Amino acid sequence: MEIFGQLAGGFATALQPINMAMLFVAIVLGLVIGVLPGLGGTSGVAILLPISLFIKNGALPGSNEVTAIIFLAGIYWGALFGGVITSILFNIPGEPWAVVLLFDGFPLAKRLRRPGLALASSFVSSFVGALVATVLFTFFALPVAERALQFGPAELFAVFVLSFATLIGLGAEAPMKSVAMLALGLLLAAVGFDTITGEQRLNFGQVPLLSGIGFVPVTIGLFGIGEILASAEEQGIGYVEQISARLGLRDVREAFVELGKRIRLVLSNSIIGFFFGVLPGHGATAASFLGYGLARQYSKNKENFGKGEISGIMGPQSAADSAGVASLVPMITLGIPGSPTSAVMMAGLFIWGLTPGPVLFIQHQDFVWGLIASIYLGHLMTFILCLLAVPLLAMIMRVPYAIITPFIIVISIIGSYSLNNSMLDVFITVIFGLIGYWLRKLKYPLAPLVVALVLGDSTERELRKALIAGHGSPLYFFNSPLSTLLMLGALVLVLIPLVRTIRARRRGAVARPAGVAH
Amino acid sequence: MRPYQVATAAAIALIAAVAMFDSLAAFNPSAGTAPGDVGARWYPFWAAAIMGSAALIVAYRVLTTPQAVEGVFAGRTSIFSVLKLAIPMLVYATLIGGIRWRDGDINYTVIPPLGFYIATALYMGGFAWWIGRYKIWWVVLILVAFPLVIFAAFELGFRVSLPKSFLYDEGILPF
């Protein structure tokens, strides 16, 4: 019952006019960001992060930190929905998690001439997925946060290690590349003053580096500029296949009927997506592919997949949106980002002077419950906006490349500069944009780098606090059953890729791909 | 693909080596470090060591396992698409702050700072003219309208002060 009372308080906060207005603005921005192929939810949130600081500081009448987090989260919800529009109508994924909709969303829209049904099916299943995840979030978050309050430095360090191990063990890319990126993130986080002794390190005598390498300029570069460069290479200034963007009431009604036929699939994928999204570093993209795989696996019409099967839209969409919501759970309860986007939001919390984690949950209840209530409201608002504004959103694709691309770069540069009024940050953004583009091309994962950059300071602090408490003995990490369990879990996760390789070699399954060089 | 993968792994290993060299004091924590604490340099030293080792393993794996024959770029067109975006972006970022330095009492200026608004006008207008091949009046409209809208939104709306040009310093322009 306590939870219902707090949720009601959260709704009272979220329903304040300024919060609802900023939620609306953020969702519209998120939908636009989602529709634009060169810009993702993570980069959108990163680019607009500095604006959230002004919102938090009361630049708008009545705005505060709740307005700021509702603003950032709203961008993400909009992007989660908006990314699918271009996949279905133009065969161009607006977001990484919408790639999977190319398989069945576009064929349903084009070959079967049902774009409205494809879009409505996607929006309806996204909404159900997000709703299920938000309900789970509401009931899981408080117990987790209360348990986490009892964590000491050893347990906290073990949680960080476990989250890093998840990125290595369950990542899609080569594990050693994940390790290299993770360590690079930790190293970048260590630049500047050591927070415990005050010693300078890794600044090579450069005064501007004493304050460290800012998380925001790096993320805007890696995701904002990096994605634009990758998009320029992949799509160039090419022809965009377009089909009708009309969505009628008949489509919505039919989508609900189709949802009724697949309700078990959508609900189970939403629940699986939630637990998958809670794992650090994965978020919506991996969940969307998992959701598609599950939908196909348990379908009676496997042969229809790839030809416009509605389960191929509803399965991945429910999982992706559920995972997107779930990625905020570890951020709010434990202070660990569940996805690159939540890592950016977490950086926002740091900038506003809030520390994500269990203490935030207990001490700033209005903030946390306002956010949770805004997730319900945000998804309802996004769902309605999507149904009403698809033709308008589809028109964004007609904004010429020669205007939209430099404009995104201009906004990225404003975002990186305005946080500290620093031209160094602008150059960091540009340089990390080029680095991000190159690393992406060579299949180095960027999520471990970003997560490690955000968590680097906290990880080091907890490690050293634990070592001081244990008089320098690493055995201190195994003093409590929980930290021992977490450490062992981390070890198992790190060993997964090794075991996979050994098993594959034993089976002789390492077949030589076509067109390879020795 | 192989040479690019090896070169990238080597660059990561080199960065790691430099960081390890900077953190050699990890083995002699400074006076005043709390009992049991490992000191300020231990953590970056081992982070760099892990990074370097991982990069070397990546390079080794690339050299000893079959790799895709195709290059890192799909073709010349894709390289040019990226360069068309990357080079103007670098020029744009440079123009905002200009190129200048101070040696003792003497200031050297190669390119004066154009500030955010003038650089943005040139960048957006240049892009519309070069990539978009728009007619001149459209280019003029773009190079005037975008900086003005950004000025109204950020400078007046959010009260974010963006970098100003040398003409602002001399009192000639308001930006």
pLDDT digit string (tens) for A443-457?
898 888 988 888 888
The confidence band for A514, taking pLDDT boundaries of 50, 70 and 90, is very low
Determine the distance in angstroms separating the CA of B172 from the nearest CA of chain A, rounded to an integer.
Answer: 23
What does the pLDDT read at residue A516? 44
pLDDT at A240 > cutoff 60: no
Give one word for A500, left, alpha or beta, with left for phi > 0 and alpha for psi -120 to 50: alpha
Name every chain A residue with its beta carbon within 8 A of the beta carbon of B16: 183, 187
**Residue in chain B nearest A426 by alpha carbon:** B93
Give yes or no: residues B58 and B104 share one domain.
no
Residues near B71 by Cβ (< 8 Å), separated by ≥ 6? B1, B4
Of A174, A202, A472, the CB nearest to B19: A202
Contact (CB<8Å) B54/A177: yes
pLDDT band at A239; cut points 50, 70, 90: very low
Residues B86 and B160 in one domain: yes
| Shared domain check, B55 and B86 | no
Q: How confident is the model at residue A285 (pLDDT cuts 50, 70, 90)?
A: confident
Q: What is the mean pLDDT of residues B29-40?
A: 76
Residues in chain A within 8 Å Cβ distance of B100: none
* Residue among A119, A45, A55 at smallest CA distance from A75: A45
> Would you state the pLDDT for residue A486?
87
Of B68, B77, B90, the CB nearest to A515: B68
- A 10 A CB-CB count for B86 gives 18
Option in A201, A401, A516 nearest B44 (CB): A201
pLDDT given at position A21: 94
Tell me how close the Cα of B174 comes to any Cα of chain A, in angstroms. 18
Domain extent, residue B29, equals 2-64
Residues of B in contact with A228 (CB under 8 A): 85
Look at residues A67, A99, A68 and name the one whose alpha carbon lies nearest to residue A83: A99
> Which residue from B minimizes the CA distance to A464?
B37
Other CB atoms within 10 A of residue A152 CB: 17
Segment A79-120, tens digit of pLDDT: 878 878 877 877 766 666 777 777 888 888 877 778 888 888
pLDDT digits (tens, 9 = 90+) for A433-446: 999 999 988 989 88
pTM of the complete model:
0.79
Question: Residues of A with CB below 8 A from B8's CB?
Answer: 438-439, 442, 444
Among the partner-chain residues B41, B58, B158, the one whose CB lies closest to the CB of A54 is B158
Beta-carbon separation of B142 and A403 below 8 A: yes
Task: Identify the residue among A409, A438, A516 best suited for mutation to test binding to B, counting B beta carbons within 10 A and taking the highest.
Answer: A409
Q: What is the pLDDT of residue A497?
A: 83
Sign of CA dihedral B150, B152, B157, B160: positive
Taking the CA of residue A401 and the nearest CA in chain B, the distance in Å comes to 8
- Chain B residues with beta carbon closer than 8 angstroms to that of A183: 16, 47-48, 50-51, 54
Which pair of tokens denotes residue B43?
Answer: 């953590």
The DSSP bridge pattern shows strands A516-517 and A192-193 to be unpaired
Q: Which of B36, B43, B78 is closest, CB to CB, to A460?
A: B43
Give the CA distances from residue A374 to residues A15, A144, A482, B116, in Å, rounded to whole numbers and listed in that order: 8, 20, 33, 36
Arithmetic mean of pLDDT, A252-257? 88
Q: ipTM above 0.90?
A: yes
Query: Does residue B85 share a domain with residue B57?
Result: no
User: Does residue B82 share a domain with residue B132?
Assistant: yes
**pLDDT of A278 above 90:** no
User: Residue A37: what pLDDT?
Assistant: 62
How many domains does chain B fold into? 2
* Whether B11 and B34 share a structural domain: yes
Domain assignments of chain A as residue spans, ordered by start: 2-150+157-501
**pLDDT score recorded for residue A86:** 73
Q: What is the pLDDT of residues A56-77, one digit of tens each?
A: 887 788 888 899 999 998 998 8
Q: Which stretches of A118-250 are assigned E, i.e. beta strand?
A: 192-193, 200-201
Of B15, B90, B150, the CB nearest to A430: B90
Residue of A nearest to B31 (CA): A197
Contacts of B124 in chain A (CB under 8 A): 403, 406-407, 410
- E-assigned strand segments in A214-356: none
pLDDT value at A518 more than 60: no
Q: Is the pLDDT assigned to residue A255 strictly greater than 90?
A: no
Output the DSSP codes for chain B.
-HHHHHHHHHHHHHHHHHHHHHTGGGGSPPTTPPTT---TTHHHHHHHHHHHHHHHHHHHHHHHS-EESS-SSS-HHHHHHHHHHHHHHHHHHHHHH-EEEEETTEEEEEE---HHHHHHHHHHHHHHHHTS---HHHHHHHHHHHHHHHIIIIIIIS---PPPPHHHHTTSS--
Tell me how far CA of residue A158 lies from CA of A153, A440, A490, A492, B34, in angstroms: 8, 29, 8, 13, 22
Together in a domain, B103 and B58: no
Q: Are residues B94 and B115 in the same domain?
A: yes
- For the stretch B46-103, pLDDT in tens is 999 999 999 999 999 999 887 776 677 777 788 888 898 999 999 999 999 888 888 7
Q: How far is CA B14 from the centre of its chain?
A: 19
Same-domain pairing of B48 and B17:
yes
pLDDT at A216 over 90: no
Q: Is residue B69 part of a domain?
A: no
CA distance from start to end of chain B: 47
Residues B54 and B116 in one domain: no
Contact A517 B69 (CB under 8 A): yes
B71 within some domain? no
Mutate to test the interface with B, among A60, A413, A416, A441 (most CBs of B within 10 A): A413
Contact assessment for residue B98 and residue A427, using Cβ atoms and an 8 Å cutoff: no
3-state SS, A119-133, equals HHHHHHHHHHHHHHH
The pLDDT value given to residue A235: 62
How many residues belong to chain B? 175
Give the Cα separation of A271 and A283 in Å (integer): 14
The average confidence (pLDDT) of chain A is 83
Task: Check CB contact under 8 Å for B36 and A441.
Answer: no
For residue A197, give the nearest of B8, B30, B47 by CB distance. B30
Nearest to A81, CA basis, from A31, A28, A43: A31
**pLDDT score recorded for residue A272:** 87
Residue of A nearest to B121 (CA): A410
Q: Which residue of A has its CA nearest to B119?
A: A410
Interface test with B, best of A464, A465, A476, A498 (most B CBs within 10 A): A464
Q: What is the pLDDT of residue A184?
A: 96
Pick A398 or A323 by higher pLDDT.
Answer: A323
Count of CB contacts below 8 A, A vs B?
195
In a shared domain, residues B101 and B147: yes
Answer yes or no: do A417 and B163 touch at CB < 8 A.
Answer: yes
CA gap B96, A415 in Å, rounded: 14
Would the pLDDT of A397 be above 70? Answer: no
Nearest to A190 among B44, B74, B132 (CB): B44
Structural contact between residues A331 and A337, judged by C-beta atoms closer than 8 angstroms: yes
3-state secondary structure of A301: coil
For the record, the structure tokens of A94 come out as: 């607006």
Supply the pLDDT for residue A515.
Answer: 43
pLDDT in tens, A153-173: 898 898 889 888 887 887 767
List, for residues B109-148, the tens digit of each pLDDT value. 888 999 999 999 999 999 999 988 899 999 999 999 999 9
Q: Which of A49-58, A138-147, A243-252 has the lowest mean pLDDT?
A: A243-252
Please give, rounded to a whole number of angstroms, the shortest distance from the CA of A486 to a CA of chain B: 21
CB contact under 8 A, A183 and B47: yes
